[in-house]
A and B are shown apart, each in its own frame.
Chain A
Amino acid sequence: MTALLDGYNFAFLDEQTKRMIRRALLKAVAIPGYQVPFGSREMPLPYGWGTGGIQVTAAVIGLDDTLKVIDQGADDTTNAVSIRRFFQRMTGVRTTVKTREATLIQTRHRVPETPLREGQILIYQVPIPEPLRWLEPRETETRKMHALSEYGAMHVKLYEDISRHGQVSTAYDYPVLVNGRYLMRSSPIPKFDTPKIHMCAALQLFGAGREKRIFAVPPYTDVRPLDFEDHPFSVESWPTSCALCGSADSFLDEIVLDDQGGRMFVCSDTDYCADRRAAGHAGPATTPAEVTT
């Protein structure tokens, strides 16, 4: 257990900053998918390491919360470990790796496989919040496009993908329309996770520290990926199932085993995979003996 650090306010940020972020969060919830500007602070780690998500978590977290932090689905990778430790030292709240036990889940680039429930809050770390940024570099113009709900340029981009590659080439960060009004980047989650945002029972908050934007998707909100009638949205699939737990319906990471072309596919969501193995499921790479350990 990491000791609580003296000399800091609860959750690192000062109260004035928390109030400012909290007001931005409330506006974000009231206007689903709209990017609310906020006064992003310097954090004790560089932009690009989840400072937006951390500031949102710091403004939301309380002593009753149980925090889970994931990076690409895993609880034990660098970004997740250091952010979890940061909040242990700054708040003393309980942390967990179990999706079901968490009240707050800060995530980098994945939505957990275990369905979220009412009362949970999923907090995304977002690098570039503006879905139109690579189509229109000027902020003044993109603000106007959002104001007018003028999203033709994105449809053209998807159309050009199809005419050039035969399919939409966006595999992550897939553009979605929130509540039929605002075009939103789905943070860089794989498009496999995009349908999970739609009508999710949990509240979803998005923080972009460098770009100083906060946005939100309330529970039970309509979130549709942009697509065409003759080229409907579809998600990735794999020719195999998870080598460890045998799951055929989770997002799989490819792991290179040697330089002879050996490789295996395993669940990206480590908690989901461990849960399944604990429940007795096994994949082709595990023997029954391994499962029991």
Chain B
Amino acid sequence: MASMDLAMSQEPQPGFTEPVAQSQKAFRAVLEALSRPGLPVACAPFAPAPHGLDLSVAAILLALTDLETPIWIGPGFDGGVSDWLHFHTGAPLVADAGQASFALIQADGACPPLDSFALGSDEGPETGAMLVVQGGRLDTQAAMTWRGPGIRDRVETGSFGLAAAFWRQRHAQEGLFPRGLDLVIGCGALVVGCPRSTRIKLSESA
């Protein structure tokens, strides 16, 4: 287990300074983000962010994970991230993405096929994983149209720094609803939600 190497690695960087208030703020930001897909929501209850993480991503992980939430960390992260997270939350790290209830990926990095994550079952869709995306960008170039619960009519969005292939896979999962993945995309001190209920249409050029 990665935690066994804790003593060998560098000291984990600090987490929340006021855990009760800061967890609540981070949670409310994610709640708002998933309730209003596509709308960037401020999520920076503490600073500085450790180990090269976005402020929002660090806060979301600290606020929502604990010993009950296996987490899978994708490639491209500072080696200190897993120790830091395990130290502060006790969340068990898993090597198999399908076992994780939270998964952390880099927006511009490699991501395994989306169906290798836990998608839940028709009778228990809540076991579908939450995919936390680090390093998202609020680009102005429209790449998609989103519709669905939480969106009054439709919302035009950019790709948030994620590859078109990623969004095509996400679009392909819409038929699985209520099974699916819930995305929270960290963009610095902002977070954007894309729950499984959001229906995505990619622009022609994307």
Q: A: which residues have CB within 8 A of B? A: 9-10, 15-16, 18-20, 22-32, 34, 36-37, 59-63, 119, 143-144, 146-148, 179, 181-182, 199, 203, 217-222
Contact = CB atoms under 8 A, between A and B. Distances in A.
A179 B195 CA distance: 13
Given A9-B20, A29-B195, A219 B150 contact: yes
Contacts of B124: 143
B194 to A, nearest CB: 9
B90 to A, nearest CB: 10
B68 A20 contact: yes
B28 interface: yes
B195 A10 contact: no
A34 B126 contact: yes
B31 A29 contact: yes
Nearest to A140: B123
Contacts of B30: 26
A29 B151 CA distance: 13
Nearest to A25: B31
Question: Which of B27, B32, B66, B121 has the largest count of A CB atoms less than 10 A from its CB?
Answer: B27
Given A15-B20, A34-B125, 12 more contacts: A10-B21, A18-B27, A19-B64, A23-B101, A29-B195, A30-B197, A31-B197, A60-B31, A146-B123, A147-B121, A148-B122, A218-B36
A227 to B, nearest CB: 21
Given A26-B34, A34-B125, A10 B149 contact: no
B59 to A, nearest CB: 13
Question: Closest 10 CB pairs between A and B?
Answer: A30-B195, A147-B122, A218-B150, A221-B149, A27-B126, A62-B24, A218-B149, A147-B123, A220-B152, A30-B182
A82 to B, nearest CB: 23
Contacts of B187: none
A186 B21 CA distance: 32
Contacts of A148: 122
Contact of B34 (A15, A18, A24, A30): A30
B130 interface: yes
B134 interface: no
Interface in B137-168: 148-152
B75 interface: no
Contacts of A26: 30-31, 34, 64, 130, 182
Interface residues of B, number: 41
A34 B122 contact: no
Given A36-B126, A179-B149, A179-B197, A219 B36 contact: yes
A23 B64 contact: yes
Contacts of B77: none
Given A10-B20, A62-B24, A179-B149, A29 B35 contact: yes
A22 B21 contact: no
B35 A203 contact: yes
A220 B123 contact: no
Interface in B46-69: 63-66, 68-69
A31 B178 contact: yes
19 contacts: A15-B23, A16-B66, A19-B23, A19-B66, A26-B31, A29-B34, A29-B195, A30-B34, A30-B180, A30-B182, A30-B196, A34-B125, A62-B21, A63-B21, A143-B124, A203-B35, A218-B35, A220-B151, A221-B149
B203 to A, nearest CB: 23
A136 to B, nearest CB: 14
A250 B151 CA distance: 28
Contacts of A119: 32
Contacts of B36: 218-219
Contacts of A220: 149-152
B35 A143 contact: no
Contacts of A218: 34-36, 149-150, 197
Interface in B1-47: 19-21, 23-25, 27-28, 30-32, 34-36
A69 to B, nearest CB: 19
B87 interface: no
